[in-house]
Amino acid sequence: MSRQKLYVTSPLYYVNDNPHIGHAYTNLACDVWARFMRLDGHDVFFLTGTDEHGQKVEKSAELAGLSPKDFVDEKSQSFRDLFKAFDFSNNDFIRTTEPRHKKAVHHIWNLLLERDQIYLSSYSGWYAIRDEAFYNESELIDGKAPTGAPVEWVEEPCYFFRLSAWQDRLLEFYEKHPDFMHPRSRGNEVLSFVRGGLKDLAVSRTTFKWGIPVPNDPTHVMYVWFDALTNYITALDYPNENWQQDFWANAHHVMGKDILRFHAVYWPAFLMAADLMPPKQIVAHGWWTNEGEKISKSLGNVINPFDLIEKYGLDQTRYFLMREVSFGNDGNFSHQAVVKRMNSELANDLGNLVQRVLVQVSKNCAQKVPEKGTLLPQDSALIEKAYKTLEQVRHEFWHWGFHKALDQIWEVIGDANRYIDEQAPWGLKKTDLKRMETVLYTLCETIRVVGLLVQPFIPKTANQILDLVGVKSEYRDFAHILSALVSGVDLPQPNVLFPRFVEEAA
Ligand code: ME8
């Protein structure tokens, strides 16, 4: 496939609270995808950042006894710290309080006003601060938002966006672009919402101050979602003349299922109204629970992602989050499940394979890439399967099937483990040294390919593996998948990749 410019974004997280596992998860998915696509030769722009305006943030600042500005500066930094700790490869970190963003939002607002897409009226209805969302009476369940958030009655002058006028064009757009919402099952929820009829959307507020002022009417601040969604184009230098539209043409917005409606309905409508192209794809993943319970501050079971990497290790945490649930579905975090995957799939399957092979290479092949010799069909079968896995993994990445990609890679690891047991190179040491070298060469070559393929998921360990089999850094992208190891190259001393997790005695 030819080199493409690809744009992948996480949501901009509210800074009302500290980052938690959910934030780390969405960014991890973006990071793994971005890394894969870069290794596959594409030019990727990965954006993340913080959503700093609105009533929720204003209230949290008040509670913390800080000015909104001081509060958001501090909280935004904690997201930056988290992303650094997880080794995310984002190209930009945007804050909605930055001047570049204000400029973009003002521009698009004025454009919509000029086009008669925004008009002044007044709103009376329900609002949930926790969701920063307006709700119709008919949507409430037992007097609460469908999300369970408390609602309050609001009556205030507001600017409205003519969302109702876009209903048919949105439906037409969804029909023409069946892959717009991923997975399609979640897209169906959006379709029925739009088919149910769209009302005009309030896009400004007057009862608090912490937001981007409406141009020429500073008694209003913009509705936080109007402000926040626009960041996706701010970061590409909109509205400058040479803004990066080539990235925009391939925009993939990744998020949790909770905010699909904002991205799949409001955002494309704003863009179409401004005569801009909607994003290419909206990717919604599921919800994490903790040991079976909904994660919430009031239940006191929020999972701190810094603690996870401290306790289990970074690559172990990254692997677990990507492997445990099929992307798109809900998933449950449990300590037992992490330990099980760490010990069986990382320490045993992958770690032991690399360790067993490289210790033998070190002892019996003078710590050099073994002599390839003549491959037998079983040797070629293993290596060929490893090569072919790239194709399958690539297919999974284009369909957001991270867990399936890992399944494919672990199938090769499983085959390599069976192969080593069947070929028993330790026995060949006494009977057939040449054959031993070929078997170990076959294993090293398979490990090289596995090392290449796991890079997006567990980058640090992948680098260690590739170092151990002597792959130079410029040979680590997927264009070099067939650049087989050269016999005789010196290798470093093997080391343990994944220590087993041992429970502390009570
Ligand atoms: O919605 N499981 O910000 P937010 C999985 N500012 N993912 C979770 C999760 C969980 N339990 N909890 C949170 C906002 N997430 C807006 C976005 S975008 C222009 C504006 C993740 O801080 C998931 O990605 O409430 C979800 O969509 C996001 O955090 C919500 O983050």
Mutate to test the pocket of ligand 1, among 258, 295, 330 (most ligand atoms within 8 A of CB): 258
Look-up of token digits 């030019």: 43
Which ligand 1 atom is the nearest neighbour of the CA of 288? Answer: 2
Instruction: Indicate if the pLDDT at residue 296 is higher than 90.
Output: no
Q: What is the pTM of this model?
A: 0.97
pLDDT at 198: 96
Output the DSSP codes for 128-167: ETTTTEEE-GGG-BTTB-TTS-B-EEEEEEEEEE-GGGGH
Mutate to test the pocket of ligand 1, among 21, 30, 51 (most ligand atoms within 8 A of CB): 51
**Which residues face 14 on adjacent strands?**
51
Mean pLDDT of the chain: 96
**Which residues face 228 on adjacent strands?**
none
pLDDT bucket at 181, cuts 50 / 70 / 90: very high
Domain boundaries, the chain: 5-286, 335-480
Q: How far is CA 265 from CA 8, 71, 272, 280, 306, in A?
A: 19, 31, 11, 13, 34
The tokens describing 198, both together, are: 């769209």
Q: How many CA atoms lie within 13 A of 118 on its CB side?
A: 20
**Distance from residue 235's CA to the centre of ligand 1 (Å):** 19
Q: Identify the three-state secondary structure at position 259.
A: helix
Mutate to test the pocket of ligand 1, among 9, 14, 16 (most ligand atoms within 8 A of CB): 14
Residue 273 to residue 269: CA distance in whole angstroms: 6
Do β-strands 133-135 and 118-128 pair in parallel, antiparallel, or remain unpaired? antiparallel
**Per residue in 389-431, pLDDT tens?**
999 999 999 999 999 999 999 999 999 999 999 999 999 999 9
**Per residue in 81-127, pLDDT tens?**
999 999 999 999 999 999 999 999 999 999 999 999 999 999 999 99
Of the candidates 146, 118, 270, 275, the residue with the CA atom closest to the CA atom of residue 202: 118
Per-residue burial over 187-203, b if 16 or more Cβ lie within 10 Å, else e, is: beebbeebeeebebbbb
Mutate to test the pocket of ligand 1, among 255, 262, 283, 295 (most ligand atoms within 8 A of CB): 255
pLDDT at 506: 61
Smallest CA separation from ligand 1 atom 4, residue: 13
SS3 content of the chain, % helix, strand, coil (to 5): 50, 15, 30
Do β-strands 213-214 and 217-222 pair in parallel, antiparallel, or remain unpaired? antiparallel
Which ligand 1 atom is the nearest neighbour of the CA of 267? Answer: 19
pLDDT bucket at 293, cuts 50 / 70 / 90: confident
Sign of CA dihedral 454, 459, 460, 465: positive
Smallest CA separation from ligand 1 atom 15, residue: 22
The CA dihedral of 56, 58, 61, 65, to the nearest 10 degrees, is: -130
Ligand 1 site residues, Cβ closer than 6 angstroms: 11-14, 22-23, 25-26, 51, 228-229, 255-256, 258-259, 287-288, 295
Which ligand 1 atom is the nearest neighbour of the CA of 13? Answer: 22
Instruction: Indicate if the pLDDT at residue 69 is higher than 70.
Output: yes
Lowest-confidence range among 146-150, 292-296, 297-301?
A: 297-301
How large a percentage of the chain has pLDDT more than 70? 100
The tokens describing 250, both together, are: 């391939």
Residue 167 to residue 173: CA distance in whole angstroms: 10
**Per residue in 368-396, pLDDT tens?**
999 999 999 999 999 999 999 999 999 99
Yes or no: is domain 335-480 CATH 1.10.730.10?
yes
Which ligand 1 atom is the nearest neighbour of the CA of 289? Answer: 11
**Distance from residue 26's CA to the centre of ligand 1 (Å):** 8
pLDDT at 159: 98
pLDDT bucket at 1, cuts 50 / 70 / 90: low
Residue 425 to residue 55: CA distance in whole angstroms: 66
**Distance from residue 24's CA to the centre of ligand 1 (Å):** 10
Q: Which CATH number fits domain 5-286: 3.40.50.620, 3.30.110.30, 1.10.10.10, 3.40.50.1220?
A: 3.40.50.620
Residue 275 to residue 166: CA distance in whole angstroms: 12
Residue 118 to residue 463: CA distance in whole angstroms: 52
**Distance from residue 358's CA to the centre of ligand 1 (Å):** 43
The average pLDDT across 133-158 equals 94
Smallest CA separation from ligand 1 atom 13, residue: 22
Smallest CA separation from ligand 1 atom 14, residue: 13
Residue 280 to residue 245: CA distance in whole angstroms: 12
The tokens describing 314, both together, are: 């970074």
Q: How far is CA 53 from CA 49, 97, 215, 260, 416, in A?
A: 13, 7, 16, 20, 52
**Distance from residue 130's CA to the centre of ligand 1 (Å):** 12
